[in-house]
Structure formats: structure tokens, C-alpha cells
Amino acid sequence: MTYLSITSFYVTIIVVIKVYIYKPVYQTFVYVREKYLKQAKREGTKIEITCPDHKCIVSPDVWMKEGKRLEKVFKDPDHPMVLWGNLVEKYESL
């Protein structure tokens, strides 16, 4: 919290890591790269996941705990990219 002495109000600053998904795997099921989840854990922030029709803000711990892990090979077969998939609408914020 940041204290403003002039107006005597408390202001909460929420910092989130934003991830935009342009094409979900199936309806609202999306995969998020583990790199972004680890970054959010390290910084102590949440992740805002936006796909065409839905948007949610979720803790990286919850996303990884309830999600599905996938190792996908893109360029280098020795280093697959780790992705975590979950439903966006399950955590949708209004």
C-alpha cells in the first residue's frame, strides 16, 4: 500500500503480468509459457490472461496446480518449451 498524505487515502497498486492469447486451443482452454508463470512467482504478482472473449487474473501457483503440463518441441529438440494449460473461464473475473 502507498500512503498519500494530502488526501488521506490508501491506494492499492496491483501489478500483473499480461499474457495475450490470440487463438485458444479449444474455446477457452489456453496454454501459458512456464517462463511467465515463474516470472510472476518471482515478482510476487498475478497473471492477467486475455483471450478473444474472456479475461482472468489468476495466481501462477493456482494456474500450475490445477493446470495441465505440456512439453512441446518447437526448434531445438533437446530443449522443449514447457507450457501450462487451463480454462480461462474457470478463473474469469467480472
Task: Name, in order, each residue with C-beta under 8 angstroms of 76's C-beta and a sequence gap of 6 or more.
Answer: none
pLDDT average per 10 residues of sequence, the chain (94 residues): 48 74 88 92 90 88 92 90 90 64
Residue extents of the structural domains in the chain:
16-91
Measured between alpha carbons, how far is 37 from 85 in angstroms, rounded to an integer?
A: 11
Q: In this predicted structure, what is the pLDDT of residue 94?
A: 46
Which H, E and C letters describe 27-55, residue by residue?
Answer: CCEEEEEHHHHHHHHHHCCEEEEECCCCE
The count of residues in the chain is 94
Scan for cell 487451463, then name that residue. 86
Cell of 9: 487515502
Q: In this predicted structure, what is the pLDDT of residue 90?
A: 81
- Give the global pTM: 0.77
